[in-house]
Amino acid sequence: MAETLLKPLKAGLIGADIQASLTPAMHMQEGAAQGLDYAYELIDLTSLNATPADLSRLIEDAEVRGLAGLNITHPCKQRVIPLLDNLSPEARALGAVNTVVLKGGRRFGHNTDWWGFAESFRRGLPQADLSSAVQLGAGGAGVATAYAILTLGLDRLTVFDREHERAVDLAEAMSALFPGAVITAGSDLAASMQGASGLIHATPTGMAKYPGVPLPPDLLESRHWVAEIVYFPLETELLRQARARGCRTLDGGGMAVFQAVGAFRLITGMEPDASRMLMHFKTMTT
């Protein structure tokens, strides 16, 4: 009997300091399960001694070498946009791209970060009270989580950021997209938490390089749900403090997996098995 040949496919991730990324393993493992000879490479700006100014050259090189698509991460999610031929409505609305499909000599930009958070939230915090939430962080991740939670039907969102103008800009941008919701930049975190049903954390605080908690833990009450985006480690100090106070919690692993689910679908044209990808992620993080 002739040996079954796997269909070859190549993709990659462009960003800085990405050697610890679990994205290649998630893509290649699911690809193998789907009958692909899937080669997924890291195009690490740091390792290559490159900068975002080299992005155009790196994408051109990927095209020449026959890559079917690229994931894009910090610090290139906004800078890649002028280099693309087409943007999905969500990528255009968010002003950020994390997945580029390379097809027929054209470059198609998408954003699966927001869907990754939305799907994780829908599965991990069912029946969550969406009357009001506080979000900490108005950077690239915060734009995605805000868009996601408002898409899920949140009524009121109060955004905080160390750079208050960034929170103002995010509130204004989301207000234009979701006119039925009340979205503001906050000034009094304690008061906002008293009136909120949940908290979204969208800053790096809690990662190994940025230890700590992003707000005074005493502001957390048992009625709050707490959704985290950090997944290195999965058990952040924020989640530990929240659970100790009886809060329902959501770790950042789901967002990491489901953005990869969405990217796999776009790059390969195949339907991934989300449950299988979740299980694989758990084996790598526990």
| Catalytic-role residue among 10, 77, 209, 282 | 77
- In the residue annotation, 7 being an active-site residue is answered as no
Task: Enumerate residues 6+ apart whose C-beta is below 8 A from 24.
Answer: 13, 40, 41, 42
- Any idea which residue has 């000599």 for tokens? 105
Concatenated DSSP letters of 67-109: -SEEEE-TT-TTTTGGG-SEE-HHHHHHT--SEEEEETTEEEE
Closest CA to 110 of 90, 95, 83, 80: 90
Cβ atoms within 10 Å, residue 56: 13
Q: Which residues pair with 15 in a beta bridge?
A: 44
Q: Which residues pair with 9 in a beta bridge?
A: 38
Active site residues: 77
